[in-house]
Amino acid sequence: MAFVILDPCQGEKAGECVSVCPVDCIEEGPDQFYIDPEICIDCGACKAVCPVSAIEEEYDLTPDQEVFLERAEKFFEDR
């Protein structure tokens, strides 16, 4: 499982999540930050510091939010 950054990050991009990630799996994209689901160790450090509550666990996503996991996968696939 991995954490996923959702729409509250769009435009906000505070970035506290990047500095606390122990495996450096969070990168800045053009519109928001993304968590690499292949590297994320599901520690929850990013969720704890997000000032806009934009981070959820993959298995807690609603069907409408699953697009954000797909976007993250595509972001890292294209790298």
* Model pTM score: 0.94
Digit-coded pLDDT (tens) for 4-42: 999 999 988 999 999 999 999 999 999 999 999 999 999
pLDDT at residue 78 in the model:
76
Neighbour count for residue 78 (Cβ, 10 Å) = 6
Digit-coded pLDDT (tens) for 30-76: 999 999 999 999 999 999 999 999 999 999 999 999 999 999 999 99
Q: Are strands 55-57 and 3-5 parallel, antiparallel or unpaired?
A: antiparallel
Domains of the chain and CATH, by start: 3-77 (3.30.70.20)
Cα-Cα-Cα-Cα dihedral of 34, 35, 39, 42, to 10°? 180
How far CA 12 is from CA of 24, 28, 43, 78, in Å, comes to 20, 12, 23, 23
